[in-house]
Structure formats: structure tokens, C-alpha cells
Structure 1
Amino acid sequence: MFVTPAFAQSAPGAGGGDLLAGQFGMIIPLVLMFVIFYFLLIRPQQKRQRQHQELIKNVRRGDIVITNGGLVGKVTKAGDGDSEIEVEIAEGVRVKIVRGMLADVRAKGEPVKA
């Protein structure tokens, strides 16, 4: 009643190269998925990360910036080697922010005169 017919199957290794072809056939889709993930996800993310680091590195006095917390302010003090910048978020209100916490630069200020 619950018995199903058994179909003949070849034993592993009986076909010679079938075992190798089967294992290789299972690896190909995994490799293809990794390649697709690399070009669609990993590579664009690395490119955006490089652009963001370059943007943060080039922040100068007078730039209008947005922090990760959503504050919008004008940079009043920024040194090349400093990891902190000073941002004026309201008239007379200045805060120090770590450069890594900047989300975007809205408007570039005037270039620094030599």
C-alpha cells in the first residue's frame, strides 16, 4: 500500500567521470553567484566608500555639511590633519564633530586663499 517502486541507479564512481562532473557542476553556479554579487553589490559599495572618504578628506571652512545625525551646519574650522571639525549649527552655536560622522557636503565654500 505505501510501498513505492525502486528505480535502478548507478553506483557512485561506476560511470567513471560522472562524479567529477557532478561536483564541478555544483561548484559552477556558486562561482557564478559570487561573481554576480561582486559586480552588482561589492564593487559599487567600495566605489561609494572611496568617494565618501575623499569627500570627507576635502572638507574645508565654509562648506555646508550634513552629519549622520541629520544636523546641517557650516564648517567654521577644519584642519588637514585633524580628525575633528568645528561646525556652526545655529548663530553662535558651534559643535565639534568627528570627520567620519559627516554624511554629505551640500555646498562647497570658497577656496582658501593662500
Structure 2
Amino acid sequence: MSGLFDAIGPLLFAQDAGGQANTWSTILFFLPLPLLFYFMIYLPQKEQEKKRRTMIEALKKNDRVVTAGGIYGAIVSIDSTTGQVVLRIDDEKGVRMKVDRGSIVRVVESE
């Protein structure tokens, strides 16, 4: 275990272990970080946004959805020019509400 600490210790604690060699080892230590960021953060986020975009594009009348505010409703109509969606919240009282298309978080599977 001391061998591992001897290799990483100067990098972590910024001790001078040899001047120019220390600079290159520090650069090599931080070189993979952009790749790590790209593969662990950017790509999964991009894939998730693509799934969300396809879900929003596939919305149709009578889909049961949940908004970002936690409101459950069924789609009555979709206006693609303005991006507004009319939701039916309560059937008995005839309550309807307009929301932005982007505020729909998920489609609820009907039982």
C-alpha cells in the first residue's frame, strides 16, 4: 500500500518530487478527466434528453400524463404551434387546464 501512496502522494499533496518530472506526472494525472466527464456525465444526460424529447413529440389525445407540478390529467388537445396542451383534470366537474408542452414530465401507463 505504501507503493501506491508513494506514487500518488506527491500529486495529492503538491510535494516537489523532482521538478520537471512532477509537472508532467501532474498533467498526465489530470489528462483523463475531460474524457471521464464526457462519458460519465455528458453522454447519459444527452441520451436522457433525447428520450424526453421523443416522449414529448409522441404525446397524443387521451394520454394520461403528469406535469412538473405533480398534476395528473388526460390530454384533451395539443396545439403544436404554441406548445400548449389542454389537460382534463376532473371529469365530473369538467376542470381543464392549459400547460406548456415542456412541463409534462411523464406519461402514465393506463391500467
Give your verdict on TM over 0.5.
yes
Percent identity, aligned pairs only? Answer: 24
- Residue in 2 that maps onto 1:77: 77
Compare CA radii of gyration and give the structure with the larger one. 1
Q: State the TM-score, normalizing by the size of structure 1.
A: 0.70
- Residue in 1 that maps onto 2:98: 96
How far residue 37 of structure 1 moved from its aligned partner, in angstroms, is 2.2
Q: Does 1:64 align with 2:64?
A: yes
Gaps of 5+ in 2: 1-15
- Residue in 2 that maps onto 1:16: none
Query: After the TM superposition, which segments of 4 or more aligned residues of structure 1 sit over 6 Å from their partners?
Result: none
* Structure number with higher relative contact order (C-alpha < 8 Å, ≥ 6 residues apart): 1
Q: State the TM-score, normalizing by the size of structure 2.
A: 0.72
- How many residue pairs get aligned? The number is 93
Gaps of 5+ in 1: 1-8, 13-18, 109-114
- Residue in 2 that maps onto 1:37: 37
- When residues 10 and 89 of structure 1 are mapped into structure 2, their CA distance, relative to the original with a 3 A threshold, is closer
How far residue 11 of structure 1 moved from its aligned partner, in angstroms, is 8.4
How far residue 57 of structure 1 moved from its aligned partner, in angstroms, is 1.8
2:35 and 2:52 mapped to 1: Cα distance?
25
Higher fraction of helix: 2
- Residue in 2 that maps onto 1:105: 107
- Residue in 1 that maps onto 2:12: none
- When residues 78 and 10 of structure 1 are mapped into structure 2, their CA distance, relative to the original with a 3 A threshold, is closer
What's the CA shift string for 1:67-96, capped at 9, x where partnerless?
Answer: 011111100001333311000111111000
Q: Secondary structure at the match of 2:38?
A: helix
How far residue 33 of structure 1 moved from its aligned partner, in angstroms, is 2.1
